[in-house]
Amino acid sequence: MTQLTGQPATDDDVVHLTVPADGGYLGVLRTATAGLAARLQFALDEIEDLRIAVDEACAMLLAIATRDAELECRFAVTEDALTVEVTVPTVRGATLPGESSFAWKVLTALTTAAAAESADGRATISLLTRRSGY
């Protein structure tokens, strides 16, 4: 997987959230995303773009998640960026949408960078968004 990072984060600048892999819990992740992006003083449109990107990444993962899975989300806050990594255990043979898919184009349009990895029965989507002006 391509590691997407801003400047190095300290342990105090990393937030881990785990929720059931169910669409009803995505609001928790969207709210956390908005709160952390606001802490970095992202512009309102940047916050909304990131919320949409996290929602889209989670939707991609929920489609291939195992039954009763948990969605793990790691937020790394740096001086000028927010990195979000969302991971879920996947059903056998599951694949993420390709880079030419509409869903992937949405992710790359709404973030500074996006990457995906699927290995050892788990899939991860990483999103990096830098605050404008950096």
Q: Tens of pLDDT along 85-99?
A: 999 999 998 888 888
Cβ neighbours, 10 Å, residue 80: 16
Helices (H), the chain: 26-39, 44-62, 102-110
* pLDDT confidence band for 52 (50 / 70 / 90): very high
- Supply φ then ψ for residue 86, to 5 degrees: -115, 130
Architecture of domain 13-130: 2-Layer Sandwich (3.30)
Average pLDDT of the chain is 89
Q: How far is CA 42 from CA 26, 38, 50, 52, 109, in A?
A: 21, 5, 10, 14, 17
Between 4 and 72, residue with greater pLDDT:
72
Mean pLDDT of all residues in 25-45: 94
Residue 66 half-sphere exposure, CB side, CA atoms within 13 Å? 13
Rounded alpha-carbon distances, angstroms, from residue 76 to 4, 6, 28, 103: 10, 9, 17, 23
Q: Is the whole model's pTM more than 0.85, yes or no?
A: yes
Task: Note the pLDDT of residue 12.
Answer: 58
Looking at residue 9, its pLDDT comes to 47
At 134, the pLDDT band (50, 70, 90 cuts) reads: low
What are the tokens at 65?
């998640």
